[in-house]
Structure formats: structure tokens, C-alpha cells
Structure 1
Amino acid sequence: MTYALVRRRPAAAHLDLPTFAHATGLHPDLVRRFTVLGLLEPVEDARGDWWYPVAQVAAAARIQRLRAGFSLNYAAVGLVADLLDRIAELEADLRTRSRRSGD
């Protein structure tokens, strides 16, 4: 078994909770709520601190747009976001197949 002599912090492409909250314009408590609901996906370090990949800033903006634009509750926001992701995957797959077949 090996032990790290120095605690590693996630790469610079990750933001801590206060920085992420500031970047998204969300209150840190709301960021925590989104994380617990599974709407945001941070990386957890050895201490249990959450570090948010920079790409999660776009996910937070999407959550805000869905909530404001459609007056969805947070559970519905998660469902709609998952469905939109699945649609995007299917459309990308369809485009790839169309290119291969020469259509």
C-alpha cells in the first residue's frame, strides 16, 4: 500500500465551491442542492471537498434556463436535461450514420 506525502488538489480545470458559485451567479447553498440532486457532478477529493469541472458552469446555466424558461421543479429539470442529452446523442449518431452511408 502506498500513501501520498502531499495532498493533491484537482487540476486547474476544476473550481472549488465558492469559486464555482461565483462563476455561475448561484448561491453556494443552491450549488450544494443541485449537487445533492445529481444535477451537477463535482469531483470529490480525499478530504471530501467538491471540485467542479469548468464544463459544469454550462450545466449550471442550462439548469437555470430550464427552471426559468419552463417553470420546472428541480426533479423535472434533471429529467429534461437527461432527455435533451439523450436526444443530442441520438442526433449525433444519426449524423455519423448518414455520413457513412453517403446520404
Structure 2
Amino acid sequence: MAFALIRGPMLSLDGFAARCGLHPDLVRRFVALGLLRADRDAAGRLWLAPAEVITMARVQRLHEGLALNYAAIGVVLDLLARIDELEAAHEGGEPQWTPTG
């Protein structure tokens, strides 16, 4: 039996930019920097998952609230994702790491 892979609802670049109150060129820049994940269709247009709106809000808070540059924001986002993974692993059983000292 075969199942078709169906992607969830996606936002066009313009729709995503409008939802976030940003210019589409800035969204393209964030995708190029790896701060947002996007897919391209056969015509090369960008499509973003609605969940990326949350990521964009986090990027904006880090940039405005802590005055971090975009390279630093990428590092912070990676660290936050790793913390989420560790917390999820800890809730599911033994921790994946042990503190030293």
C-alpha cells in the first residue's frame, strides 16, 4: 500500500511577509541566512510553513530586545533548539548528559 506525502498548508513569500509585517526582500534575506526555513516550488518561488511565523517573531525579539546581529541570532536559535531537544529527552527518561563539577 502506498501513501501520498501531503505537505501541510504553506504561506507564499508575500503572504508570509504580510503576516509578519516585513518586506519580502527581508524575508528572503532571513532564508538565505538560515534563520527561516523555506521550500521552493518548481518555479523557484519560496513557500514557508505557518510555524515559521513564530520563528520570525523570535528573531525580531532577539534583534530588537537584545540588539543581537543576525549571525548571533542564528547561534541563539540553534542553542534554544538544542535546549528543547535536551528537555524533551529528559522528560522522556534519563537525561542525555550529566553536569560536571
TM-score tier, shorter chain, comes to: 0.7 to 0.9
> How many Å apart are 1:50 and its aligned residue?
0.5
What is the distance in 2 between the residues matched to 1:91 and 1:16?
A: 33
1:84 is aligned, of 55, 77, 80, to 80
Q: Which amino acid aligns with 1:66?
A: L
Q: Any stretches of 5+ residues in structure 1 without a counterpart?
A: 1-9, 99-103
Q: Any stretches of 5+ residues in structure 2 without a counterpart?
A: 1-5, 95-101
Q: Which amino acid aligns with 2:73?
A: V
Q: In the alignment, what sits opposite 2:13? A: 17
Runs of 4+ displaced beyond 2 Å: none
Q: Deviations over 1:47-99 (max 9, x none)?
A: 1110011111111111001111111000000110010010011011111115x
Query: TM-score if structure 2 supplies the norm length?
Result: 0.82
| Residue 69 (str. 1) matches residue 65 (str. 2) | yes
What is the distance in 1 between the residues matched to 2:63 and 2:76?
A: 10
Aligned CA RMSD, in angstroms, stands at: 1.5
Percent identity over paired residues: 52
Classify the secondary structure of the residue corresponding to 1:41.
coil
| Residue 41 (str. 1) matches residue 37 (str. 2) | yes
Classify the secondary structure of the residue corresponding to 2:68.
coil
